[in-house]
Structure 1
Amino acid sequence: MAEPVQQPPQPSGGKRKGKAQYVQAKRARRCDAGGPRQLEPGLQGILITCNMNERKCVEEAYSLLNEYGDDMYGPEKFTDKDQQPSGSEGEDDDVEAALKKEVGDIKASTEMRLRRFQSMESGANNVVFIRTLGIEPEKLVHHILQDMYKTKKKKTRVILRMLPISGTCKAFLEDMKKYAETFLEPWFKAPNKGTFQIVYKSRNNSHMNREEVIKELAGIVGSLNSENKVDLTNPQYTVVVEIIKAVCCLSVVKDYMLFRKYNLQEVVKSAKDPSQPHPKLGNGKEVKLESDVKLNQNDPSEGKNNQQVVPENNEEPGQTKPKPESQVVNEEGAKPELADQVMEGCKSNENDHS
């Protein structure tokens, strides 16, 4: 009679396995309680670019945002419970009892864990995303830049640009079109109207077509109100499109050119002539550009034709100058007119790596 096959002895790792499960469950529940830890659709916040030091960037961002956030919205309130870690991580604790205690503590403190500002993974190098709750990011960032512009007081070292993000959606053309139709209404739907430009930046994304996105968004702005016009020199509104991986971040900001494209390092510098929207262009052509713009603004009788000519000086150094034919847009419909104007002007932002 054959002897039964004996199974090799199993290592006694039950306690270690139980602790590992407890730690994993604890981390997962803390993440759920505190909100998402990476950029995803459905968030509001502030997108910040920095100079090769993300940790220092986060520290500066918290300091700056809390300073001005307290000024606008009052100090944020915390409790002792919110500051203390819950649960016990001792090896001798009963795993099941400790897990139940942890779940109870997390449920009780979920609301307090949702801070006003919370840093999370952006999905791109040298880019930090600060999720916001209970504030309007575009108003807060404008307030910060306005104060720095007036006082010329430098308050950051590694932060470059600070862009408010009023909404996020999936970075696919159909999703963006559907989302933008509602998102852009507060600024551009009749009776609201204004002059605008679109700035576009894509990081770690290869499936989006820049020209298609800009044309679609410009078409949506035109469909909301036919009186919305493109102004590439000093627009009332700038539609910011920031794409990172599979997430599209959108915002509509004011004084984009005045505040040096929302660059905190540049906005504190004293300009020779504050009226110049492009102070870095000092090659003689600037004078011609300024006079052409003033001529167009002071001659309303020309109507659309004045806005169909896009200034050549909007391109950055080293870029190919567009053909004259591409500067004259179709007069038959508002959508192609707006789309072509915006496309010409947005070429100036292609080399903006900040």
Structure 2
Amino acid sequence: MSAVANESRKRSKKRYGGGQPNKRWKGSFLEVGMEGILITCNMNERKCTAEAFNLLNEYADKLYGPEKFEDDNESSSQEEDAEEEDVTEALKKEVAQLKSSGAKRKRRFQAFESGANNVIFIRTLNLESDKLVHHILSDLHSTKKKKSRVILRMLPVTGTCKAFQEDIVKYLGTYLEPWFKTPNCATYQIAFKARNSSHNKRDEIIKSVAGLVGKLNPKNKVDLTNPELTIIVEVIRAVCCISVVKDYTLYRKYNVQEVVKEDTPKPDVTTAKTETDTAEEKEKRDTEEKDKEEKKGKEENTNDKNVAQDNKEGDEGEVDRE
């Protein structure tokens, strides 16, 4: 190969990445063991992330107070010891301090790639994501104040495991105990969704989870209309995200766009039935009165005819006698 061709090939590799893997998202994907919040959006993940941080920090400040950072600068107690300290040991201590300061600087909210389009994952630290999300939706539902434009749903993730059916059932066997194991019981439904994953079938997962809940306590009953609890199972690639939430139906499946809309009043079945019955009764009465009037008219006509006939016969009799 000529030097010119070789140089051109090098430039091409350098321009298009040189065959090296993309390191942009290395270490920033959703993984087993994380807790946080899954947030779905409508085609604008960057804006969704910004809105999510604003919304979560607003309500987290109310529930937990402002985010606090520990002081990373530690002063030495004795300057003399520092002066006499070996240079190598000083460097080691500085590296250790930098590492520890990096751990301290972890934020309570941090964005990660979920592995699916239009879905972001916000990892949470030192707070309960299910309580935070429920508090946000409760406030939005009561105030009807819209606070986001691109965020659709906010689903808390309080447990994660590998996204295989046997792993999911095994993990849920312990995870679901606080809500469904005797003496605890509740009406429930299962909300399952899989993204970028083809090895889990919806019906099989739901059947397995329902069977598990039934074993924890036979008094647990399925209610698809207004359940007390909803078991959320969200599979994204190789990770299964799990949580148990309240008011899933009331808060429109945890959709922040829908929950701020005014509730449309349902028609009162009793009132509607009464109004219908009243109309029918009125029509019946009108019909009966009309029939009575017609009958009365016929009777009057018959009587008039009889009177006329009697009068006629009387007149004829008088003529004959004359």
Q: How does 1:159-178 map to 2 (within 5 A)?
A: 159-178=151-170
Matching of residue 39 in structure 1 with residue 25 in structure 2: no
Please give the per-residue CA displacement for 1:253-300, whole angstroms capped at 9, x wherever unaligned.
Answer: 100010001000000000122xx6xxxxx9xxx979xxxxxxxxxxxx
Larger radius of gyration: 2
Counterpart residue identity of residue 128, structure 1: I
CA distance in 1, matches of 2:71, 2:41: 33
User: Which residue number corresponds to residue 146 of structure 2?
Assistant: 154
User: Which residue number corresponds to residue 209 of structure 1?
Assistant: 201
User: Which residue number corresponds to residue 211 of structure 2?
Assistant: 219
Matching of residue 140 in structure 1 with residue 108 in structure 2: no
Does structure 1 retain, via aligned residues, the 8 Å contact 2:69–2:105? Answer: no
Counterpart residue identity of residue 41, structure 1: V
User: Which residue number corresponds to residue 352 of structure 1?
Assistant: none
CA distance in 1, matches of 2:98, 2:134: 35
Matching of residue 197 in structure 1 with residue 183 in structure 2: no
What are the ranges of 5 or more consecutive residues in structure 2 without an aligned counterpart? 1-22, 74-90, 271-322
Alpha-carbon spacing, 1:66–1:231, altered in 2? closer, same or farther (3 Å): same
Give 1:80 shift.
6.9
User: Which residue number corresponds to residue 13 of structure 2?
Assistant: none
User: Which residue number corresponds to residue 122 of structure 2?
Assistant: 130
Give 1:100 shift.
7.0
Matching of residue 186 in structure 1 with residue 181 in structure 2: no
What are the ranges of 5 or more consecutive residues in structure 1 without an aligned counterpart? 1-26, 83-98, 277-281, 289-354
TM-score scaled by length of structure 1: 0.61
CA distance in 2, matches of 1:287, 1:177: 42
Secondary structure at the residue paired with 1:109?
Answer: helix
CA distance in 2, matches of 1:111, 1:76: 15
Aligned residues between the structures: 232
Counterpart residue identity of residue 158, structure 1: V
Counterpart residue identity of residue 124, structure 1: A
Structure 1 moving runs of 4+ over 4 Å = 79-82, 99-103
Give 1:113 shift.
2.4
Give 1:110 shift.
3.2
Give 1:43 shift.
1.1
Give 1:184 shift.
0.6
Counterpart residue identity of residue 125, structure 1: N
Secondary structure at the residue paired with 2:114?
Answer: coil
Counterpart residue identity of residue 166, structure 1: T
CA distance in 2, matches of 1:141, 1:233: 22
User: Which residue number corresponds to residue 55 of structure 2?
Assistant: 64
Across the aligned residues of Structure 1 and Structure 2, the Cα RMSD in angstroms comes to: 2.7
Does structure 1 retain, via aligned residues, the 8 Å contact 2:193–2:234? Answer: yes
TM-score scaled by length of structure 2: 0.67
Please give the per-residue CA displacement for 1:168-210, whole angstroms capped at 9, x wherever unaligned.
Answer: 0000111111100011111101111100000111100011111
Higher helix proportion, which one? 2
Give 1:51 shift.
0.8
CA distance in 2, matches of 1:125, 1:51: 10
Please give the per-residue CA displacement for 1:15-63, whole angstroms capped at 9, x wherever unaligned.
Answer: xxxxxxxxxxxx99xx8xxxx5211111110000001111111111111
